[in-house]
Structure 1
Amino acid sequence: MAGIRIVVAGATGWVGRALVPAVLAAGDLVLAGAVSRAAAGKDAGEAIGAPTAGVIVAASLKDALSVPSDVVIDYTKPHVVKGNVLTAIEAGRHVVVGTSGLGAEDYAEIDAAARKAHVGVIAAGNFSITATLLKRFALEAARYVPDVEIVDYASASKPDVPSGTGRELAEVLGEARQAGTAKPVADLSGLKETRGASIGAPIPVQVHSLRLPGYVLSCEAHFGLPDERLLIRHDAGSSAAPYVAGTLLAARRVAEQPGLRRGLDSLMS
Structure 2
Amino acid sequence: MTKIIIAGGFGKLGLAIQQGLVGTNFEIAGILSGHSHESEYLVWTTLDEIDQEADIFLDVSTPATVFDNTMWAIKHDMAVIIGATGLTDEQIAILRDRANHGILIVPNFSLSAVLLMQFSQLAARYFPDVEIIEAHNPKKVDSPSGTAVQTAKLVAEARLDTAQKTNDGPARGQRVADIPVHAVRLPGYIAQQSVYFGGVDEQLTLTQSTTSRAAFVPGVLRALEGVQKINKLEIGLDSIL
Q: Please give the range of the TM-score, normalised by the shorter of the 2 chains.
A: over 0.9
1:194 corresponds to 2:167: no
CA distance in 1, matches of 2:5, 2:206: 35
For 1:218-229, list aligned pairs within 5 A: 218-229=192-203
* Structure 1 residues 210-243: Cα deviation after superposition (integer angstroms, max 9, x where no partner): 2223332111111010111100011111x21111
The corresponding residue for 1:56 is: 42
Q: CA deviation at 1:209?
A: 1.0
Contact in 1 for aligned 2:60/2:84 (Cα 8 Å): yes
AA matched with 2:119: F
Aligned equivalent of 2:187, options 213, 233, 236: 213
Where 1:32 maps in the other structure, the secondary structure is strand
AA matched with 1:110: L
**Could you tell me the percent identity over the aligned residues?**
33
- Structure showing greater radius of gyration is 1
Where 1:108 maps in the other structure, the secondary structure is helix
The corresponding residue for 2:17 is: 19
AA matched with 1:84: N
CA, structure 1 residues 62+222, in 2 after alignment: closer, same or farther (shift >3 Å)? Answer: farther
Contact in 2 for aligned 1:123/1:261 (Cα 8 Å): yes
Q: CA deviation at 1:193?
A: 4.1
Where 1:194 maps in the other structure, the secondary structure is coil
> Where in structure 2 are there 5+ consecutive unaligned residues?
none
The corresponding residue for 2:165 is: 183
Aligned equivalent of 1:30, options 27, 31, 37: 27
CA, structure 1 residues 180+197, in 2 after alignment: closer, same or farther (shift >3 Å)? Answer: farther
- The CA RMSD measured in Å over matched residues stands at 1.7
CA distance in 1, matches of 2:61, 2:229: 24
The corresponding residue for 1:131 is: 113
> Where in structure 1 are there 5+ consecutive unaligned residues?
46-54
CA, structure 1 residues 62+219, in 2 after alignment: closer, same or farther (shift >3 Å)? Answer: farther
1:265 corresponds to 2:223: no
Aligned residues: 241
TM-score normalised to the size of structure 1? 0.83
Aligned equivalent of 1:98, options 80, 83, 89: 83
CA distance in 1, matches of 2:201, 2:15: 47
* Structure 1 residues 242-267: Cα deviation after superposition (integer angstroms, max 9, x where no partner): 11111121112212222211111112
Q: CA deviation at 1:20?
A: 1.5
Contact in 2 for aligned 1:24/1:31 (Cα 8 Å): no
Where 2:171 maps in the other structure, the secondary structure is helix
